[in-house]
Structure 1
């Protein structure tokens, strides 16, 4: 099969590994980014989408880890959507599904609607609303609805000390996701779902110098056998969002584990080689099954 890997960036670890392992599995595999997508007039189809000048119709499957940039959302969505309406080409996941999954607000709303245990969540567009959240929850976490990797995620204990951080985020994003802060010195649980399987489950423990359980910020990740309930919740969440490869982040609370985020571009660079190989092979197996069923 001819498989395209729509990468977050050309040097994104997971995108590169998908490309290399796809070739080892016998696929003709190409890595590209949204900036490589364009279109031209076509006598047969009217408008023909291209990837780096080559027709998208040459591909069988496109696996997406696309970067939808906040400052270029419309342009990125247009380029992405061009890929999704080519006969015979399976895109995982389609642009509309992917864009909706990028939104933390929408993701949590949809998961709560089917009864999954999300962390309490509200929006804040002013210091007054942030203060109300602090009054209700004591300590809060603020972050953008579109974002990943722990970037621009701030813990606010009180506005006397956290005003500058809160004002910076409000200026940059205007509307923020606000959740109570749940202390997690023993880390969180990340369940990676591929189709109806959960090939990688890890406990991520923050570094001593950082409260965030993000590997790119020094957290350590150790493979664990998760509670079957968390695996079941994660599979239900991915199915509800229509996402093929997803990462569910759970934090422990007094009321049990709560989903704090749904991720549609989960990383696995921290896993060992055997774990990564198993995950990537599962991605290709699921993608091939979906493609064959659509033909």
Structure 2
């Protein structure tokens, strides 16, 4: 099959691994980013989208780990959406599904509506609302709705210490996701879903000098036995969002594990080689199954 890998970046380890293992599996894979997408006049007054100058109709499947940049959301969405309306090409996942999943607010709203155990969440658009949340929950976490990797995620214990952090984030994003802070010295749990499988489940433990369980910030990830309940919740969450490859982040609370984030571009570079290979092979198996299914064969998704 001819498969395009829409990468988060040309140097993104997961995007590179998808490209290389896809070739090992006998596919013709090409790694590209949204900046490589353009269009030109096509036949019958149509618009023909291109990937690095090549018509998208030459591809069978597009696997997306796209980076929709906050400063260029409309442009990046337009480029992404162009790929999703080409007869015979299956895009996993389509632009609208992908963009919805980028939003922490929308994701948590949909998961909560599906009856899944999300962390209590509210929006804060002012310092006064941050103070109100702090009074309700004692300790809080503030973060942007669009973002990943722990960037601009701040923990606040009191306004004397946290006012400057809140003001900085509000100035930058105008509205913030606010949740209670759940202590997790033993780490969180990340369940990675591919289709209806959970090929990787890890615990991510923060460093001694940090509270964030993000591998790119030094946290240590180790594989753990999959908790059947968390795997079931994660599968239901991915289905509710319509996302094929997802990462669910769980934190322990007094009321059991709660979903704090839904990720549609989960990383797995911290896993060992065999685990990574198993996961990526699962991605291609699921992608081929979707492309060849009766409801998708010969159509776009």
Q: How high is the TM-score relative to the length of structure 2?
A: 0.97
Q: Once the two structures are superposed, what CA deviation does each residue of 1:38-92 show, in whole Å capped at 9, x if it has no partner?
A: 0000124610000000000000000000001000000000000000000000000
For the structure 1 residues 274 and 135, does the alpha-carbon distance in structure 2 shift closer, same or farther, using more than 3 Å as the test? Answer: same
d(CA) in 2 for partners of 1:177, 1:234: 21
d(CA) in 2 for partners of 1:167, 1:17: 40
Partner of residue 237, structure 2: 237
- Mean Cα displacement is larger for which, 218-227 or 40-49? 40-49
SS at match of 2:68: coil
Partner of residue 203, structure 1: 203
For the structure 1 residues 233 and 41, does the alpha-carbon distance in structure 2 shift closer, same or farther, using more than 3 Å as the test? Answer: same
d(CA) in 2 for partners of 1:43, 1:106: 38
d(CA) in 2 for partners of 1:189, 1:113: 22
Partner of residue 247, structure 1: 247
SS at match of 2:237: helix
SS at match of 1:200: strand
d(CA) in 2 for partners of 1:61, 1:111: 28
Partner of residue 147, structure 2: 147
User: Structure 2 matches for 1:59-74, cutoff 5 A?
Assistant: 59-74=59-74
Q: How high is the TM-score relative to the length of structure 1?
A: 0.99
User: Structure 2 matches for 1:122-137, cutoff 5 A?
Assistant: 122-137=122-137
Structure 1 position 114, deviation (Å): 1.0
Structure 1 position 37, deviation (Å): 0.2
- CA-based RMSD: 0.6
Partner of residue 112, structure 2: 112
Matched, 1:285 2:280: no
d(CA) in 1 for partners of 2:169, 2:214: 19
Query: Which one has more relative contact order, counting CA pairs under 8 Å at least 6 apart?
Result: 2
Q: Once the two structures are superposed, what CA deviation does each residue of 1:210-261 show, in whole Å capped at 9, x if it has no partner?
A: 1000000000000011210000000000000000000000000000000000
Q: For structure 1, list consecutive stretches of 5 or more residues without a partner in the other structure.
A: none
Matched, 1:17 2:9: no
User: Structure 2 matches for 1:44-83, cutoff 5 A?
Assistant: 44=44, 46-83=46-83
d(CA) in 1 for partners of 2:212, 2:225: 22
d(CA) in 2 for partners of 1:188, 1:205: 7
Q: For structure 2, list consecutive stretches of 5 or more residues without a partner in the other structure.
A: none
Partner of residue 219, structure 1: 219
For the structure 1 residues 47 and 120, does the alpha-carbon distance in structure 2 shift closer, same or farther, using more than 3 Å as the test? Answer: same
Partner of residue 164, structure 1: 164
